[in-house]
């Protein structure tokens, strides 16, 4: 998403000859995530049969995150000291959408099953204290603080590079699952994880390092347009 937006919006040269390392990293990332998510070790179902509505939402999430990284990078390049205000607007919008969802899904005294997990029951029911802690952690740490760190980082690095780094998220999830939940890994987990790691390494290369693929001149510097 980010390389495509850089080419379409910023008019930055992002073809295979201009930024081969970026496209190589993107392909390795997509392949790695696909192996992790779609491979069935039992062989009873094909990858296409495993696709569902949840996968569509996940793809839309990836498009949304990629677009937000691109736009955030543009704002931070123009105002590098505005990470906190930009993050505040993003978190406020997230809170607003969550509030509207809460209203539609079951509010105080709604009497349905979901209302038992709404306010104030979520705070006062002893059996839901762990769920309340998870909500607090998600809102403060993995949303607000995480978004502030990402926004600050996007002022210092390209969104395409950040997207590749964030593609390692399944690896960290697998690591914590193994440490805390004792989860075992299959062959597809190792292959998918290796592809994602290779993607991160590929993203550190320069176009000249891959000149043998396109017969590029290693001494030619890539074009950098103003405002990119």
pLDDT class of 198 with cuts at 50, 70, 90: confident
The pLDDT value given to residue 88: 93
Mean pLDDT for 121-125 is 76
| pTM exceeds 0.85 | no
- 76 close to 155: Cβ distance less than 8 angstroms: yes
The pLDDT value given to residue 101: 82
The pLDDT value given to residue 225: 44
Angle between helices 53-78 and 83-105 (to 10 degrees): 150
Give start and end residues of each alpha helix (H) in 113-168.
Answer: 121-124, 129-139, 146-154, 159-166
What does the mean pLDDT of the chain come to?
A: 79
pLDDT at 193 over 60: yes
Three-state SS for 108? coil
- 121 close to 128: Cβ distance less than 8 angstroms: yes
């Amino acid at each position: 998403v980010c390389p495509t937006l850089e080419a379409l919006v910023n008019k930055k040269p992002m073809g295979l000859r201009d930024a081969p390392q970026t496209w190589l990293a993107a392909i390795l990332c997509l392949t790695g995530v696909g192996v992790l998510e779609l491979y069935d070790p039992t062989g009873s179902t094909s990858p296409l049969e495993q696709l569902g509505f949840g996968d569509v939402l996940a793809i839309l999430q990836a498009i949304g995150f990629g677009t937000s990284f691109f736009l955030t990078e543009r704002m931070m390049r123009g105002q590098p000291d505005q990470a906190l205000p930009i993050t505040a607007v993003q978190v406020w919008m997230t809170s607003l959408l969550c509030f509207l969802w809460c209203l539609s899904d079951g509010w105080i005294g709604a009497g349905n099953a979901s209302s038992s997990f709404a306010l104030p029951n979520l705070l006062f029911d002893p059996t839901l204290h762990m769920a309340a802690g998870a909500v607090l952690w998600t809102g403060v740490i993995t949303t607000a603080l995480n978004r502030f760190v990402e926004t600050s980082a996007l002022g210092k690095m390209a969104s395409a590079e950040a997207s590749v780094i964030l593609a390692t998220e399944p690896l960290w999830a697998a690591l914590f699952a193994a440490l805390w939940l004792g989860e075992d890994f299959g062959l597809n987990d190792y292959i998918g994880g290796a592809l994602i790691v290779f993607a991160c390494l590929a993203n550190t290369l320069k176009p000249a390092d891959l000149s043998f693929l396109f017969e590029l001149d290693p001494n030619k510097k890539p074009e950098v347009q103003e405002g990119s």
